[in-house]
Amino acid sequence: MEAKYIYGIIKTAKEEFLGSCGVSVYEEVYTIPYRDISAVVSDSPFVDYTTLSKDQVARYLLRHQQVIEKIMDSYNVIPMKLGTYAFNISEVEEILSKGYPTVNEIFRKIDKKIEIDVAATWSNLNSVVKEIGEKQEIKELKEKLMSKSGGASVEDQIKVGRAVKNILDKERERLASEIRDVLGRVSIDSKVHDLMDDRMIFNVAYLIDKDKKTEFEKRLDELDKLYNEKINFRCVGPLPPYSFYTIETKKISFEEVDCARKILCLGNKATKEEIIKAYRNSAKLCHPDKNSDVSNAERQFNEINRAYRSLLEYCLSAEQAGPGDICSFNEKEFKKNAILVRVRE
């Protein structure tokens, strides 16, 4: 099925062919405008990313990021979540229309801003662990366990391992805090990413002013010298604001919303306050902690929570479609509210 793959959104009202980027993968990239913003798209067969292997997803992610970062040379760009498709131009325009207030607010926030990602790893983790093993408290623990009748058991060895890990984690937290303190002084915002393995100490994205880039890199160089050969730093950027303002879309199913409405015993219309009240009343009646003798209480409670989340998403989509605080669950009205546009959490 042919579709429009959306890479990101830029601030321009022009229909523009972006083949001038000069790299083969961009030859079919172009813009679809709505008012003074445009989606950066290419014609592509629809791909369900949930069915792909990690390697396949990685290849698509690389192309996705290459296009966005090339566009960044000429425009401020708000990235779209990997795997965002629309099935025609009208649907692209609907996404831009729904997201228009959010998108403009993001453009205001990222004006003359860039993202820089910083990761820090132990240069030699084995050496660090060995050093911890020489600490007095670890030596005393080992001696105590070894002095037991029959020597140290497997469980005792696990205790030593846990004690070493506890010290290692505290040292990691101390160093990460020191690094955050230094780099935080020249950044506007930061997002902490997961540590990928035991070697990693620090993995943080920073949003900074473009004119602070040199100062940021200077601070990073100072940290590199401070920790000498103990820590390796890796810096990636400048990047678009992937970690802070990536846009995602969600297509909402009428059947899902209608089912959710019935679970919470709502009529054909409701305000957000009425939805919240209905949820609280229903959740109170079948909360597992208060209904331990009811076999399916937990299942019912989970259904109520899913229904509540679905209706809140639908109400947010309805708010994007137009003013008013009443959500209509009428199927004819539903089409106006079928796409939700939001910043990925």
Q: What is the per-residue pLDDT across 68-93, written as a single tens digit (0 to 9) for each?
A: 988 888 899 999 999 999 989 999 99
Residue 162, pLDDT above cutoff 60: yes
How many domains does the chain divide into? 3
pLDDT on residue 24? 44
pLDDT on residue 92? 92
3-state secondary structure of 196: coil
Q: Dihedrals φ, ψ of 76, to 5°?
A: -70, 130
Quick one: 127 and 224 in the same domain?
Answer: yes
The Cα–Cα gap between 340 and 82 comes to 16
Percent of the chain scoring above 70 in pLDDT:
86
Where is average pLDDT lowest: 112-121, 197-206, 243-252, 255-264?
255-264
Quick one: 213 and 283 in the same domain?
Answer: no
Where is average pLDDT lowest: 110-124, 284-298, 302-316?
284-298
Quick one: 140 and 184 in the same domain?
Answer: yes
pLDDT on residue 81? 93
Q: Dihedrals φ, ψ of 288, to 5°?
A: -55, -35
Q: Over range 276-293, report the average pLDDT.
A: 73
- Give the best-scoring range by mean pLDDT among 21-30, 210-219, 255-264, 272-281: 210-219
| 225, 244, 263 - which closes a domain | 244
What is the pTM assigned to this prediction?
0.77
| 186, 220, 244 - which closes a domain | 244
Work out the pLDDT band at 220, boundaries 50, 70, 90: very high
Quick one: 217 and 258 in the same domain?
Answer: no
300: domain CATH number?
A: 1.10.287.110
Element containing residue 84 per DSSP (H, E): none
pLDDT on residue 293? 58
pLDDT on residue 281? 82
pLDDT on residue 320? 64
Residue 321, C-beta contacts closer than 8 angstroms, at least 6 positions apart: 98, 336, 337
Closest CA relative to residue 86, chosen from 12, 14, 24, 7: 7
Quick one: 264 and 221 in the same domain?
Answer: no
Average confidence score pLDDT of the chain: 83
| 197, 213, 244 - which closes a domain | 244
Quick one: 95 and 24 in the same domain?
Answer: yes
pLDDT on residue 183? 93
- Give the best-scoring range by mean pLDDT among 9-18, 156-165, 313-322: 9-18
pLDDT on residue 6? 93
For residue 301, give its domain range.
252-343
Quick one: 106 and 126 in the same domain?
Answer: no
Quick one: 128 and 216 in the same domain?
Answer: yes
Contacts 24+ apart (CB under 8 A), 308-313: 308/260, 308/264, 308/275, 308/279, 308/283, 310/252, 310/256, 310/257, 310/260, 311/257, 311/260, 311/261, 311/264, 311/266, 311/270, 311/275, 312/272, 312/275, 313/250, 313/252, 313/340
- Give the best-scoring range by mean pLDDT among 25-29, 224-228, 285-289: 224-228
Element containing residue 99 per DSSP (H, E): helix 89-110
Quick one: 122 and 239 in the same domain?
Answer: yes
pLDDT on residue 26? 46
Quick one: 126 and 165 in the same domain?
Answer: yes
Quick one: 208 and 301 in the same domain?
Answer: no
